[in-house]
């Protein structure tokens, strides 16, 4: 990580110049981490053409020195953003950018107070745009996170039996990944069974698995600050014809959309590949979310594979492809792989099997 | 929880009337949970004198019905806050409040677009103020969370030996609490050893414990949406005279400040009780954070026990009392209990022992 920091700051400075900004106040924790290496829970960066400052409080005095040696540390007791504003006013002339998608209205007020009459400009997406294209080093971390999730999934599959609770299966999956070296889970793992599998972001409950349940397992690890994301669907002991049918459609949609992923492809058109297959099978109303999203420092980041999005994929994007079909009160299927976009296709980072027919365990 | 929702909405409506607001847009996840029971990752509430609406997307269609039956569900495909604005414009005349401490600048822009010319007012703290005083039902959940942390701490103490890593000890503590029924941890557990114990919010690393280390363990569970918070400090096998000394001072400060907690006490004065003891022992520079904070749906919430804060404690507040002394590059001590404020004192929810002399394990 450390070596990458100067490159990223240089790239941001070029971006600032293009946007006619004299500096950027960075407040999104994932952008702070990406640019500086700092992981404290409270802080902000100010990056100008000449200087790179990290503002935080007493608690992070030593940690900032350890994690962000390329930054000058400014220790602030209270009203951190007012201080950022004051230092900005002293440090750079001209327009100052801030991250409007992350900064709260209250903190913008503090920043403005400190800045007094300096011009502030909403500059969301500057850092996120760089982040969407991963370097080989970053892909190493994402690959490691995906490999841990693959191993954990095998362990979780071994626990799928009537009477096991969603929560226990999720906890064992998380414990497995963290013992194996994950910093954390990329998100609260989802184990959603029976009718709950029709809730696309159900989390887990204390529901016990029953024969005939569909079980959606959505799992990701975080390694060295980078996330992975994968989903598989199973049936417990037995499966209805309807469950087999929606699985088969979701699988077909997943494979067709994954095959459409390559540099230059338009995000909305990749989404449409999957959506058309599900629509034509008359389940269009049961696939209410986008096809996929970028994955990196955040588990949801740019680019977004969704209806109407005209962004073009680029080599180095890492995206999920995850169509789902959800039948309220009955159950659902979601199948998700993680892909690295390449010039002429994509490499799938997920290694876990995705059988063409609903796996019954 | 369900029974409490109508009471909370009624209380909020009274608060809106006092603030001359016709409605409030609630965007902070913890306030959304407190007022409605909804735990989805994306959503907003609009509460007016007559109506209570929950806005979220397709993913939460069923979950919202299950968790927030007192709310009308509005399903939004994109630009959630623009929709909230449009519905607000149709639903209530007069000034509309929003949570400026939680809403991002970008989402305020979307809300404003939807609302068109309606007057928007920053109304932060309305819900938080109610939340600071806990009902007996809420204290039941916090007590349960504190009891789980007490048990987990015993387990973690049994693992404190040279060669054990901070991360493994923290993971075992978390796994213990979640297997015992915690929904989650209240925060990433801290196990900070040796020089890292001088980092007040160190998190964990792969550092192995060594004889003579100070080890700070900061642990909390979440049960039914409510948090607990507790810290203890230990020495591994042997302790220096200096470590024993700073422990004894921190302990004296903790006990004196905890004894000063009661309804009517001024937050800044309770902080001063501990700070004076540490100052007089010449370690004032080594205690850079506030004495404590409220705990509830969030692990950090109102009220705040900190220098100069003139808020008065009230019966039903649940607060931490956690002085610390941190010697850079050497080590630190922090001791934290969780207290329920009562008319004539406080009840300590933490049951784990806090010996007057540094425990050597």
- Pair A184, A298: CB distance under 8 Å: no
Decide if A178 and B171 are in contact by the 8 Å CB cutoff: yes
Tell me whether the omega of the peptide bond preceding residue B191 falls within 30 degrees of 0, making it cis: no
Q: State the pairing for strand pair B292-294/B120-122.
A: unpaired
Burial class for B158, CB neighbours closer than 10 Å (0-12, 13-18, 19+): exposed
3-class secondary structure for A32-53? HHHHHCCCCCCCEEEEECCCEE
In a structure prediction context, what are the per-residue pLDDT tens digits for chain A, which is 361 residues long? 456 888 999 999 999 999 999 999 999 999 999 999 999 889 999 999 999 999 999 888 888 998 999 999 999 988 999 999 999 999 888 899 999 999 999 999 999 999 987 889 998 889 999 999 999 999 999 999 999 999 999 999 999 999 999 999 999 999 999 999 999 999 999 999 999 999 887 779 999 999 999 999 999 999 999 999 999 999 999 999 999 999 999 999 999 999 999 999 999 999 999 999 999 999 999 998 999 999 999 999 999 999 999 999 999 999 999 999 999 999 999 999 999 999 999 999 999 999 999 999 9
B101 contacts on A by Cβ (under 8 Å): 104-106
The strands making up A214-219's β-sheet, listed across from edge to edge, are: A190-193, A214-219, A230-235
The domain made up of B136-348 has a fold known as Creatine Amidinohydrolase (3.90.230)
Mean pLDDT of chain B: 95
Please report the pLDDT score of residue A3 as a whole number.
63
**Domain regions of chain B by residue span:** 4-131, 136-348
DSSP B120-140: EEE-TTHHHHHHTS--HHHHH
Q: Which chain B residue has the Cα nearest residue A195?
A: B62
Beta pairing partners, B345? B342
State how far the Cα of A113 lies from the Cα of A69, in Å rounded to an integer: 29
Give how far A187 is from chain B: nearest CA, Å: 11
pTM given for the model? 0.91
Q: Which among B63, B289, B329 has CB closest to A58?
A: B289
State how far the Cα of A75 lies from the Cα of A87, in Å rounded to an integer: 12
B41 contacts on A by Cβ (under 8 Å): 201
Cβ-Cβ pairs closer than 8 A, A with B, add up to: 93
Decide if A63 and B288 are in contact by the 8 Å CB cutoff: no
Which of A38, A62, A307 to substitute to test the interface with B, most B CBs within 10 Å?
A: A62
Please report the pLDDT score of residue B3 as a whole number.
63
- Pair B295, B228: CB distance under 8 Å: yes
* A78-117 per-residue burial string, b: 16 or more CB within 10 A, e: under 16: eebbbbbbbbbeebbeebbbbbbbbbbbbbbbbbbebbee
- Pair A320, A346: CB distance under 8 Å: no
State how far the Cα of B315 lies from the Cα of B338, in Å rounded to an integer: 14
Rounded to the nearest angstrom, the gap between the alpha carbon of residue B74 and the centroid of all alpha carbons in its chain is 30
Q: Is the pLDDT of residue B319 over 90?
A: yes
Please report the pLDDT score of residue B203 as a whole number.
79
ipTM above 0.95, yes or no: no
**B169: contact with A, CB 8 A cutoff:** no
Give how far A67 is from chain B: nearest CA, Å: 12
Q: Indicate the angle between helix axes A166-179 and A136-157, nearest 10 degrees.
A: 140
C-alpha angle with apex A175: A42 to B334, nearest 5 degrees? 40
Please name which of A15, A5, A45 lies closest in space to residue A27, comparing C-alpha atoms. A45
CA dihedral A101, A106, A107, A110 (to 10 degrees): 140
Which of B56, B62, B170, B224 to substitute to test the interface with A, most A CBs within 10 Å?
A: B62
Beta pairing partners, B217? B191, B232
Burial class for B351, CB neighbours closer than 10 Å (0-12, 13-18, 19+): middle
Give how far A62 is from chain B: nearest CA, Å: 7
**B95: contact with A, CB 8 A cutoff:** no
Look up residue B209 and give its two tokens. Answer: 């414990």
Decide if B201 and A40 are in contact by the 8 Å CB cutoff: yes
* Residue linked to tokens 């942390």: B149
Q: Which chain B residue has the Cα nearest residue A168?
A: B179
Decide if B39 and A203 are in contact by the 8 Å CB cutoff: yes
Please report the pLDDT score of residue A238 as a whole number.
98
Please name which of A327, A152, A192, A170 lies closest in space to residue A247, comparing C-alpha atoms. A327
Give the rounded percent of residues in chain B with a pLDDT score beyond 90: 88
Number of Cβ within a 10 Å radius of residue B93: 10
B109 contacts on A by Cβ (under 8 Å): 100
End-to-end CA distance of chain A: 41
Give how far A26 is from chain B: nearest CA, Å: 14
Average pLDDT on B167-180 reads 97
Q: Which of residues 217-276 of B touch A (CB under 8 A)?
A: none
**B101: contact with A, CB 8 A cutoff:** yes
* Residue linked to tokens 């001024």: B266
Decide if B103 and A102 are in contact by the 8 Å CB cutoff: no
Please report the pLDDT score of residue A33 as a whole number.
97
* Domain A4-131 CATH (choose: 3.40.350.10, 3.40.50.1580, 3.30.460.80, 4.10.320.10): 3.40.350.10
Residue range B321-361, pLDDT digits in tens: 999 999 999 999 999 999 999 999 999 999 999 999 999 99
Q: Which of residues 186-205 of A touch B (CB under 8 A)?
A: 188, 198-203
Decide if A105 and B104 are in contact by the 8 Å CB cutoff: yes
State how far the Cα of A259 lies from the Cα of A238, in Å rounded to an integer: 31
**B178: contact with A, CB 8 A cutoff:** yes
State how far the Cα of A108 lies from the Cα of B103, in Å rounded to an integer: 11
Q: Which chain A residue has the Cα nearest residue B325?
A: A59
DSSP letter at B165 equals B
Average pLDDT on B9-28 reads 95
Q: Which among A39, A122, A188 has CB closest to B105?
A: A122
A103 contacts on B by Cβ (under 8 Å): 104-105
Rounded to the nearest angstrom, the gap between the alpha carbon of residue A313 and the centroid of all alpha carbons in its chain is 16
Please report the pLDDT score of residue A77 as a whole number.
87
Decide if A60 and B201 are in contact by the 8 Å CB cutoff: yes
State how far the Cα of B198 lies from the Cα of B285, in Å rounded to an integer: 13
* B173-183 per-residue burial string, b: 16 or more CB within 10 A, e: under 16: bbbbbbeeebb
Please report the pLDDT score of residue B340 as a whole number.
98
**B87: contact with A, CB 8 A cutoff:** no
State how far the Cα of B144 lies from the Cα of B247, in Å rounded to an integer: 28
DSSP B20-37: T-SEEEE--HHHHHHHH-
Please name which of B181, B126, B116 lies closest in space to residue B149, comparing C-alpha atoms. B181
Give the rounded percent of residues in chain B with a pLDDT score beyond 70: 99
Decide if A61 and B328 are in contact by the 8 Å CB cutoff: yes
Q: Which chain B residue has the Cα nearest residue A177?
A: B171
Give how far A290 is from chain B: nearest CA, Å: 10
Q: Is the pLDDT of residue B269 over 70?
A: yes
Please report the pLDDT score of residue B2 as a whole number.
52
Give how far B101 is from chain A: nearest CA, Å: 5
**A96: contact with B, CB 8 A cutoff:** no
Q: Which among A63, A100, A329 has CB closest to B105?
A: A100
Split at pLDDT 50, 70, 90, the class of B93 is: confident
Q: How far is CA B269 from CA A257, B181, B231, B311, in A?
A: 63, 37, 22, 10
Give how far B285 is from chain A: nearest CA, Å: 10
* Residue linked to tokens 């490691």: A144
Three-class SS state of A169 = helix
**A359: contact with B, CB 8 A cutoff:** no
């Amino acid at each position: 990580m450390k070596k990458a920091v100067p490159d990223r700051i240089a790239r941001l400075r070029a971006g600032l110049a293009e946007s006619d900004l004299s500096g950027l106040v960075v407040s999104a924790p994932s952008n702070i981490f990406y640019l500086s290496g700092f992981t404290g829970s409270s802080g902000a960066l100010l990056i100008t053409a000449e200087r790179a400052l990290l503002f935080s409080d007493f608690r992070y005095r030593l940690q900032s020195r350890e994690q962000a040696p390329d930054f000058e540390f400014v220790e602030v007791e209270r009203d951190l953003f007012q201080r950022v504003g004051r230092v900005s006013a002293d440090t750079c002339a001209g327009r100052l950018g801030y991250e409007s998608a992350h900064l709260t209205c209250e903190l913008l007020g503090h920043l403005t107070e400190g800045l007094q009459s300096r011009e502030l400009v909403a500059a969301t997406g500057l850092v996120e745009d760089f982040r969407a294209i991963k370097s080989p080093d970053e892909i190493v971390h994402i690959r490691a996170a995906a490999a841990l999730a693959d191993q954990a999934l095998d362990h979780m599959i071994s626990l799928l039996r009537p009477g096991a609770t969603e929560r226990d299966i999720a906890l064992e999956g998380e414990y497995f990944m963290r013992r194996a070296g994950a910093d954390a889970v990329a998100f609260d793992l989802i184990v959603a069974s029976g009718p709950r599998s029709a809730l696309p972001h159900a989390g887990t409950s204390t529901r016990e698995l029953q024969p005939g349940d569909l079980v959606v397992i959505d799992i990701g690890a975080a390694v060295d600050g980078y996330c992975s994301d994968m989903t598989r669907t199973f049936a417990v002991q037995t499966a209805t014809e309807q469950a087999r049918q929606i699985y088969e459609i979701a699988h077909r949609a997943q494979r067709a959309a994954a095959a459409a992923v390559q540099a230059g492809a338009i995000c909305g058109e990749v989404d449409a590949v999957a959506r058309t297959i599900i629509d034509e099978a008359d389940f269009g109303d049961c696939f209410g979310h986008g096809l996929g999203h970028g994955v990196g420092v955040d588990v949801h980041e740019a680019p977004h594979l969704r209806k109407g999005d005209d962004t073009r994929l680029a080599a180095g994007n890492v995206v999920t492809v995850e169509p789902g079909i959800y039948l309220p009160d009955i159950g659902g299927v979601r199948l998700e792989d993680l892909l690295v976009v390449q010039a002429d296709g994509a490499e799938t980072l997920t290694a876990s099997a995705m059988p063409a027919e609903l796996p019954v365990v």
